Amino acid sequence: MKSIISILNVILCVLLLQPNASAEKQIRLEAMESNHQFPFFETQTAVWSYNGQIPGPLIRGKKGATLVIDFVNKLKEPTSIHWHGLRIDNAMDGVPGVTQDPVKPGENFGYRLRLEDAGTFWYHPHFNSSEQLGRGLKGVLIVDEVEKQPWSRDLVWLMDDWLLQKDGNIYPHFNTHHDLMHDGRWGNALTVNGKFKPEFEVKPGERIRLRLINGANARIFLPHLEGLSADVIAVDGKPVTQIFPLNQFELSPGNRIDLDITVPSNAGGKTYTVKDRFTRRQFVLASLKVSQSESVKTPDFIPPTAENYIPPQDFDNIAVSKTWDLNAFRGGQYGIAWAMNSKIWPEADKADYPLGVPQKIKFDNSSTRLHPMHIHGVFFRVLERNGQKAEEPFTRDTVLVGPRESVTIGFIPEHPGIWLTHCHIQSHAEAGMMTTVEVKK
């Protein structure tokens, strides 16, 4: 009798565990050579992609769920996948030589991602990165909130630029002297979701969550919505601490913003263009085309904020524990090395910190180039720029450090492991501008 009861108990437990088990989502990703049709050319362009798609498949999962990713490398060279911005188990971070071995051609790697934070993230290789990203390997990963969100539409725009030759092929030289002397590889064809100036149909009265992701190799975007006002509600995968209007927000490679936009109820038939204004030459990125249909009811709500997350005061009485001077010198495998404290990867000047103790880091740019500095696996707050208090009502995982600028950030090491820290201009990183922040239990 007893054993029957215990068997029944086991069965009951298995049944009760079912909902948890189904919170795992299986996804297969294959890095491969494929073709992509750009509208500017008659012939297709040879690209490297995930699952034959440009951009890679949009991956979505709910906060708290686990994504189980079966990754296959069908390229002719090693690769890996890094999940930009996600706070996950360090072993899943996808950095060859730091958290895993490179995935060789024909090999598989299983990534298990427990989704801790709801927000906009993305994924890309972390091996021969300038070339692998430059040929198209990247995609968006969205972690949805547990509760259904009240927006009438959720749009995802992966902004990218490609360096294409007249014949439609991708310019095949990477980490060139020119790229290294300047701000990396800037393309000549700007795309949103792999398309040239795509139009997105929306309805009058709709309230839209527009997620912008900068997946470019090196280009900085300054998005401008003509005739529409927008609020910034999240930056780099985390809700802002205070909602603010989109004005001049520079998105450097790696950065994301989520915007809250209401299409006016009388805007039927109008088209709003979204332009990039970072360079003197303005580019149309995409547009919102409002249909002639009747206006829908505009959802009325206040988006959530991360009000109390690492406020600046948390760092008031803390000294800078690490200053990284950013500069270049002659040398290294490309002739020009990009260094942090005069050291280049893998002979880097590293940082290590105990778990849970707030830290301040300073990036001191002695060069005249741009360095969007990214730390894996954390959200940090910008505290000072050039010694002046910065008042950013949000946290980030990537901060643009301008020519001769210094930026001080604060964060709390919450996840043990070795977290790569580098410039997100791919050519700079490959020419040495990488180090690690190690968080010890």
Residues that bind ligand C2O in the complex, under the rule CB under 6 A: 82, 84, 124, 126, 254, 374, 376, 420, 422, 424
- Of ligand C2O, Cu ion, none, which one sits near residue 204, judging by CB under 5 to 8 A according to partner kind? none
| Among 321, 426, 309, 318, CA closest to 374 | 426
C-alpha span between 269 and 75 (Å, rounded): 45
User: Which residue lies nearer to ligand C2O by CB, 83 or 249?
Assistant: 83
Place of tokens 């005069």: 342
> Among 415, 380, 373, 358, which Cα is nearest to 114's?
415
Q: Report, in Å, the least distance between residue 287 CB and ligand C2O.
A: 28
Nearer to ligand C2O, 126 or 209 (CB): 126
- For residue 84, the partner it binds in Cu ion, ligand C2O, none, with Cβ less than 5 to 8 A by kind, is ligand C2O
423 binds, among Cu ion, ligand C2O, none (CB under 5 to 8 A by kind): Cu ion
The Cα angle at residue 380 between residues 374 and 386, in degrees rounded to 5: 80
Q: Phi and psi dihedrals of 164, rounded to 5?
A: -110, 145
Tell me the helices (H) and strands (E) count for the chain, helix number first. Answer: 4, 29
CA dist 422 and 91 (Å) reads: 18
Closest approach, Cβ 215 to ligand C2O, in A, equals 9
Q: Is 422 in the site for Cu ion (CB under 5 A)?
A: no
Residue 409 found at the interface with Cu ion (CB under 5 A): no
Do 125 and 31 contact (CB within 8 A), yes or no? yes
Taking CB under 5 A as the rule, does residue 428 contact Cu ion? yes
- Measured from each CB, the residue nearest to ligand C2O is 84
**Coarse DSSP helix, strand, coil percentages of the chain, rounded to the nearest 5 percent:** 10, 45, 45
Distances (CA, A) of 131 to 67, 180, 251, 253, 293: 27, 14, 21, 15, 45
Virtual torsion, Cα 142, 107, 76, 69, nearest 10 deg: -10
Tokens of 15: 């049944």
Q: Strand 139-144 relative to strand 153-162: parallel, antiparallel, unpaired?
A: unpaired
**Distance in Å, CB of 32 to ligand C2O, minimum:** 21
CB of 427 to Cu ion, least distance (A): 8
Q: Which is nearer to Cu ion, 160 or 183 (CB)?
A: 183
The answer to whether 257 touches 249, Cβ cutoff 8 Å, is yes
Q: Which of Cu ion, ligand C2O, none is residue 259 near (CB under 5 to 8 Å by kind)?
A: none
Binding string, residues 31-60; x marks residues near Cu ion by CB under 5 A: ------------------------------
- Judged by beta carbon, residue 142 or residue 218, the one nearer Cu ion is 218
The interface partner of residue 420, options being ligand C2O, Cu ion, none and the CB cut-off 5 to 8 Å by kind, is ligand C2O
Using CB under 5 A, which residues numbered 293 to 332 contact Cu ion? none
How far is 127 from 286, CA to CA, in rounded Å?
A: 30
Of 229 and 386, which CB lies nearer to Cu ion in the complex structure? 386
Identify which of residues 95 and 230 has a Cβ nearer to ligand C2O in the complex: 95
Q: In whole angstroms, how close is the CB of 367 to Cu ion at the nearest point?
A: 8
Q: Which does 82 bind (CB under 5 to 8 A by kind): ligand C2O, Cu ion, none?
A: ligand C2O
Binding mask 352-381 for Cu ion (x = CB under 5 A): -------------------x----------
* CB 29, CB 72: distance < 8 Å: yes
Q: Where does this chain bind Cu ion (CB under 5 A)? A: 371, 423, 425, 428
